[in-house]
Structures are given as C-alpha cells and as structure tokens.
Amino acid sequence: KCATGKYYDEAENTCQNCPKNTATITGAADISGCEPCQNAGEYAPEGSGYCLSCTSGKYYHEPANDCLKCPSGSFTATGGVGLEQCEKCPEGFFSSSPGASTCFACQPGKHTNPDQTKCLRCAAGKISGVAAPVCTACDRGKYAEGEGNVECQFCDDEDTVVGSITLRNGTSTRSGCLCPAGEFAFLGDKDE
C-alpha cells in the first residue's frame, strides 16, 4: 500500500506522487484515486495528502509553490489558483494595497487612476459622484472652483452675474462667467 499523497503505478510496480492539484489522504490503488482539488482557491503540490487553500486576496503561484498576494488594483474574494483569478477592480473602485479581498468605491469629487490603485481629486471645472471612473466637465453656464468638487455652480445667479454664461464646458473659476456678447452687467448700487 502507498503512503499519503502517493498512488500505485502498476507498470512501474512502485508508488508515485499524485500529480499537482490532486491529493489522496490514504494512498491510492491507482492514479484515479488522486482526487482533484475542486473548491475555489484550492491547490496541492505534487505528492499531497490534502488540498490547501489560498485565502481571500491571494492566489497560488506554482513556481513559488506558495500563495502570493493579488497586485494592487485587483482582488479575489475566495483565493485563487493562478494570477488570472485576481480580478481587476470595477471602474470607479480601487484597492491600494496588495492582497485585497474587495475593492473600495472612490468618494464623490474623486475618480480612480488608470491602475485602479487610488482615487484622485477631480480637477477644477469637473465633478464626480460616488465610484466615478472619470470626472465630468461642468456644462456651459456652470463652473467648479478648486479640486474635488461634487457639483457645479450656476453662473446665472445673484452671487455671480444674473444672465451670465461661460464660453465652454469645464469652466474652473467664477471669473469665467461672462455676459453674453453685446450685453453688459450693471454693478452699481441697486437703490440708485
């Protein structure tokens, strides 16, 4: 009888190691007794008696014969067998550290960088909501001063100049609010 992690090879009349990603606790009468690892994230080095599991955020790396952390910008909730089981974070979500089991949403006023490893503040003249992959330029007639905005301000109000507009989308300052061509603003005292 063969030992744990081995099967009897009749042609060779000897016990051989079970192939990688299979296992037998009691030793097997032939290779069919080496049971494949079946659960997500499970692996077994050659000659194993049982399957091992990579924990969430990690994947089995055969050359190292060990579990390694998924790279930043990716995750695995169950552990995986191979780097390809580390999923890229969805758009608008990020993981800043290796070994993530989940990704986090960017806060309003921010967007993810291309690698999805961090959130960046929206530039002036742009806004975003929760989990935004990109920031959106303010429409004509609106502006957003400073970085990290969640809403655009209207030019056409009492605090700016009633009837004012912007010349383009993405205006980044209140001074970008202008009177339409041929019109002007009366900035004198209202009681005069």
pLDDT value of position 186: 56
Angle at 98 between CA 95 and CA 102, to 5 degrees: 45
pLDDT value of position 104: 97
Q: State the pLDDT confidence band at 185, using cuts at 50, 70 and 90.
A: low
Q: How far apart are the first and last CA of the chain?
A: 109
* Of 75, 96, 91, 101, nearest in space to 131 by CA: 91
* Of 39, 31, 38, nearest in space to 15 by CA: 31
pLDDT value of position 192: 43
Q: Following DSSP, what letter does each residue of 154-180 receive, concatenated? A: ESSSTTS-TT-B-SSSSB-SGGG-BPP
63-85, pLDDT tens digit by residue?
887 899 999 999 999 888 889 99
46-58, pLDDT tens digit by residue?
999 999 988 999 9
What is the Cα gyration radius of the chain? 30
Asked whether the beta carbons of 28 and 18 are under 8 A apart, the reply is yes
